[in-house]
Copies of this chain bind each other. A is one copy, B any other.
Amino acid sequence: MVNNMEKQQIIQLLHENGLKATLQRQIICEYLFNTDEHPTAEQIMQKISEKYPTISIATIYSTLKNLKEKKIIHELEFSNKLPSHFEPNTNPHINIICPKCHDILDFESETFTKFWKLIVQEINRSPERHVIDIYALCEKCQVKK
Contacts and interface: CB of A to CB of B under 8 A. Distances in A.
Interface stretch (A11-19, A28-36, A52-60, A133-141): A133-141
Nearest to A83: B80
Given A77-B79, A119-B112, A126 B135 contact: no
A120 interface: yes
A125 interface: yes
Contacts of A123: 94, 96, 107, 134, 136
Contact of A136 (B109, B127, B142): B127
Nearest to A119: B112
B131 A136 contact: no
A129 interface: yes
Contact of A125 (B109, B133, B137): B137
B126 A136 contact: yes
A129 B83 CA distance: 19
A50 interface: no
Given A123-B96, A123-B136, A118 B111 contact: yes
A23 to B, nearest CB: 27
